[in-house]
Amino acid sequence: MHDYLHAAVGGALIGCSALLLYARSGRLAGISNIFHAAFWGPDRAWRWLFLTGLAAGGWLALAAAPSAPAANTPPVWLLVSGLLVGFGTRLSNGCTSGHGICGLGRLSLRSLVAVLVFMAMGVLSASLLTAGVHR
């Protein structure tokens, strides 16, 4: 299966899961809010199941493609990246899944701005991090 097809199938599954969560419970699938409320909010059980499913999906993807670039990422980079994403999530009042999937689906202007900033920073970061690799 080609990479673009993997992305399309993955995106469709994410969209379906967000829609299913919203249809069944009226809750948005913003991961940062789900993560935060898993510790300090109501209805913690479903939140932990949701987060466990995310982690299990990551491990399954890694098992299916052990040569993927993420498999070779040093743990310190994963930790630093996670902390930066967490800080950015709090700064933007939501994460990429909350703004990109749920917010855009609700036609939120704030989410559109957030997604444009996320994408621009992602392109900039990837360009800076790979600049030395392509020389």
pTM for this prediction:
0.66
In-domain check, residue 11: yes
For 38, the domain range is 3-130
Instruction: For 64-82, write each residue's pLDDT tens digit.
Output: 877 776 667 787 887 888 7
| Number of structural domains the chain divides into | 1
How far is residue 51's CA from residue 54's CA, in Å, rounded to a whole number? 5
In-domain check, residue 135: no
In-domain check, residue 100: yes
In-domain check, residue 47: yes
Q: Which of 100, 76, 77, 94 is nearest to 11 (CA)?
A: 100
What pLDDT is stored for residue 71 in this prediction?
67
What pLDDT is stored for residue 74 in this prediction?
81
In-domain check, residue 28: yes
In-domain check, residue 59: yes
The answer to whether residues 27 and 21 touch, using CB atoms and an 8 Å cutoff, is: yes
Please, what is the Cα angle at 125 between 123 and 128, to 5 degrees? 105
